[in-house]
Structure 1
Amino acid sequence: MIPFNKPLITGKEELYIRKVMETGKMAGDGPLTQQCSSWFEDTLACDRALLTPSCTHALELAAILLDIAEGDEIIIPSFTFVSTANAFILRGAKLVFVDIRLDTMNINEMLIERAITDKTKAIVAVHYAGVSCEMDKIMRLAHRYNLVVIEDAAHALMSKYQGKYLGTIGHLGCFSFHESKNYHCGEGGALIINDKRFIERAEIIREKGTNRTKYLQGAIHRYTWIDIGSSYLLSELNAAYLYPQLLLAEPINADRLRSWQTYYVALEELMLDDKLMLPVIPKDVNHNGHIFYIKVKNQTVRTGLMSYLEQNGVTTTVHYAPLHSSDMGKRYGLFHEADIHTTSESEKIMRLPMYFGLQQEDIHYTASLIKRYFADEEEAKKVKESYNE
């Protein structure tokens, strides 16, 4: 059996967790949390990195930080995880869904400007599969209309756009360390702050609305409640699991990119024969091999292929159902202009096994099954045509 995912284990996690247990400091913002934060700030060259219990919490923290309120409009793609939407709905915002690009499955930057109104407060750029949105265009629009850009970079740690790490281009960035991600601690996340004016208040909101961070730094003698907030601190135990993975970020990234490239080469002939589509990586984008997906003709082909692979020991999965088609999406948002690609492309996409340490022979086996499926399908079609004649 080839599973769809295997959570990463470097072999050093237990050592770091034991160190935390020995110190007795297991709540948030201990030494390992600080080391993780420093790694992000040094590696990504961001102004501040605040670890959170999940990417969902990072997005929620961002929404509070921006004072999102009832009547505000947030531009997002419909092809994304529900957390991207929930963070802003919880603050009373209205969602404005914009269609995606056919090639990258990211928000179509050419359609954003027409969706902007005097109620628009922010644009959320979701980097699907660790492949960057067209950030230059998005940031120019944000500057022109005085909007904030939040990068939902849940998939995108170590990915780059024009040489700059994703999560560090918008005003704020959000990462996920869920067990399905390239680097994880079971559940975890981070808010990346790229605009210094947000740092102090973000630390307050993250500490339940108190100035406890200043107290811990020795800047004040007693901390008090001064703003709204919540408990957005990652456990020190989770940080201990994450830290050794960050130290191996480059080799982990290289391993995933090697697997991604092996898939691409093995399946390229099927793309040339118009049997399926492979991921597109735009110029000036360096992705991180988070997801390898194929797009087939329609849902019927996808269902058949997934069943065939499952029967032969390979686990695959689909991805997001467009948010605007859900009951909640209809209640709290609207789709701006026409849904040309969001629904149709989401019905074609199929994700193949991808994880650190995925064996090359398993990739070739999976690719051979996909080739065999389409070859058998073609043969069946010829037999049927012959019979009809």
Structure 2
Amino acid sequence: MLEEKKIPFNWPYMTGKELYYIAEAHFNGRLAGDGPFTKRCHRWLEERTGCNKGLLTHSCTAALEMAALLLDIQPGDEIIMPSYTFVSTANAFVLRGGVPVFVDIREDSLNLDERLIESAITPRTRAIAPVHYAGVACEMDTIMIMAREHGLKVVEDAAQGVMSTYKGRPLGSIGDLGVYSFHETKNLISGEGGALLVNSPDMSLRAEIIREKGTDRSRFFRGEVDKYTWQEVGSSFLPGELIAAFLWAQLEEADRITKERLASWQRYHEFLEPLEAKGILRRPIVPGDCQHNAHMYYVLLAPEINRQEVLDSFKRNEIWSVFHYVPLHSSPAGKRYGRSHGDLDVTTRLSERLVRLPMWVGLTNEQQERVVEVLSEAVS
């Protein structure tokens, strides 16, 4: 139960059916992966995104690791990605010996700057991994054309992008592969959890095999083979059926959850317009071709404002606000395993000015007014 005065950064939302479905899974005696609830989630993913195969995983990190296996990443292979992303985007490929090549982001959306990708391509480049920051789409048409011209694969990191679209197409369904996160901090949740969207039909069977410890177990249960055995390198990427049951309750309410988050996002946007007009901060910019999902609301403080003082002011008022990623190119592991293409000036500048505001289903108008009031006092 929330204390009345405190405003958390995130608060997990439950639709009311989660525990009922978990009890149903227990009653059915199916607790391991790929039970009835998992299959419902798979159908939802495939119907809502149009992907060739949707597969639940125990995390978005696991889905990215599956992508690296599917692309047969070898030591020295290069993968172009933004530095302003979570470590999993890079880790998944580094685990296979791949080399992340960090490219700068755009000033407007904070997404991978598609204009800088081509100059980062070398004979070792195997893939591009655009990250849809805050659920706002990268410029996917340009990225896909460039990838096809150079014979590269595209792995969409849509961890934050469930229910977002680019020119009407669901994020995660545009590249060769896409990944989602259902972590507690995301829009649709299962505590931990993720999904791999396989958009290239020629990868679907291998994806099932890799996900099932490298075996053709799924084919066996469909009656396509008379026994299953080890086919290639894989691992155990399945979530348990209780996770899928919880997630199904969320997917059933995906439209309503998204609508409520968008309403909260829009309130912040309107409340903060006067501060942007004064040049104190910049509100998020959403390109016209993108329909976002209100995953987060952030502001970029004016360069002269001390971000830590703003965060300290929130803390004193029992409002939990945070900054976001430390750019990977500046991290010890990023320097050890990856390389930077260019100076990444935009990434560095904007990462030092960004503040994320509380955002969750159930956030009230009064709470948002208080967040904005404290922010206004702190920056003035």
> Smaller-chain TM-score range?
over 0.9
Q: Write out aligned runs for 1:305-324 (5 A).
A: 305-324=310-329
Determine helix, strand or coil for the equivalent of 1:290: coil
Give the letter for the 1:158 counterpart: M
Determine helix, strand or coil for the equivalent of 2:183: coil
* Bigger Rg, structure 1 or 2: 1
**Length-normalised TM-score, structure 2:** 0.97
> Do structure 1's residue 138 and structure 2's residue 178 form an aligned pair?
no
Name the counterpart of 1:106.
Answer: 111
RMSD: 0.9
Deviations 1:64-120 (A, max 9, x none): 010000111000100000000000000001111000111111110000000001110
Name the counterpart of 1:373.
Answer: 378
> In structure 2, which of residues 9, 23, 40 is the aligned counterpart of residue 18 of structure 1?
23
Distance apart, 1:372 and its partner CA: 2.4
Please say if residues 130 and 290 of structure 1, whose CA atoms lie closer than 8 Å, have aligned partners that are also in contact.
yes
Distance apart, 1:314 and its partner CA: 1.1
- Structure 2 distance, partners of 1:309, 1:233, is 39
Distance apart, 1:297 and its partner CA: 2.4
Name the counterpart of 1:191.
Answer: 196
Q: Closer, same or farther in 2 for the Cα pair 1:322/1:299, shift >3 Å?
A: farther
Q: What fraction of aligned residue pairs are identical, expressed as a percent? A: 50
Give the letter for the 2:350 counterpart: E
Name the counterpart of 2:129.
Answer: 124
Name the counterpart of 2:49.
Answer: 44
Name the counterpart of 1:155.
Answer: 160
Please say if residues 214 and 233 of structure 2, whose CA atoms lie closer than 8 Å, have aligned partners that are also in contact.
yes
Please say if residues 72 and 92 of structure 1, whose CA atoms lie closer than 8 Å, have aligned partners that are also in contact.
yes
Give the letter for the 2:141 counterpart: D
> In structure 1, which of residues 240, 243, 263 is the aligned counterpart of residue 248 of structure 2?
243
Name the counterpart of 1:97.
Answer: 102
Q: Write out aligned runs for 1:1-389 (5 A).
A: 1-298=6-303, 301-374=306-379, 377=380
Question: Which deviates the most, 296-305 or 354-363?
Answer: 296-305
Distance apart, 1:357 and its partner CA: 1.2
Distance apart, 1:373 and its partner CA: 2.5
Deviations 1:23-76 (A, max 9, x none): 111010000000000011111111110000000000000000100001110001
Distance apart, 1:301 and its partner CA: 1.8
Distance apart, 1:299 and its partner CA: 8.4
Give the letter for the 2:29 counterpart: G
Distance apart, 1:339 and its partner CA: 1.6
Please say if residues 279 and 302 of structure 2, whose CA atoms lie closer than 8 Å, have aligned partners that are also in contact.
no
Name the counterpart of 1:383.
Answer: none
- Structure 2 distance, partners of 1:180, 1:20, is 24
Please say if residues 299 and 348 of structure 1, whose CA atoms lie closer than 8 Å, have aligned partners that are also in contact.
no
Give the letter for the 2:207 counterpart: A
**Length-normalised TM-score, structure 1:** 0.95
- Structure 2 distance, partners of 1:217, 1:67, is 26
- Structure 1 distance, partners of 2:127, 2:256, is 35
**Structure 1: any 5+ residue segments left out of the alignment?**
378-389
- Structure 1 distance, partners of 2:181, 2:13, is 14
Aligned residues: 375
Distance apart, 1:361 and its partner CA: 1.1
Give the letter for the 1:353 counterpart: P
Give the letter for the 1:7 counterpart: P
Give the letter for the 2:216 counterpart: N
Distance apart, 1:300 and its partner CA: 5.6
- Structure 2 distance, partners of 1:190, 1:372, is 41
Question: Which deviates the most, 176-185 or 358-367?
Answer: 358-367
Distance apart, 1:302 and its partner CA: 1.1
Question: Which deviates the most, 292-301 or 359-368?
Answer: 292-301
Distance apart, 1:203 and its partner CA: 0.4
Distance apart, 1:364 and its partner CA: 1.1
- Structure 1 distance, partners of 2:165, 2:219, is 33
Deviations 1:340-374 (A, max 9, x none): 21111101000000001111111111112222223
Please say if residues 299 and 347 of structure 1, whose CA atoms lie closer than 8 Å, have aligned partners that are also in contact.
no
Q: Closer, same or farther in 2 for the Cα pair 1:299/1:158, shift >3 Å?
A: farther
Q: Closer, same or farther in 2 for the Cα pair 1:156/1:299, shift >3 Å?
A: farther
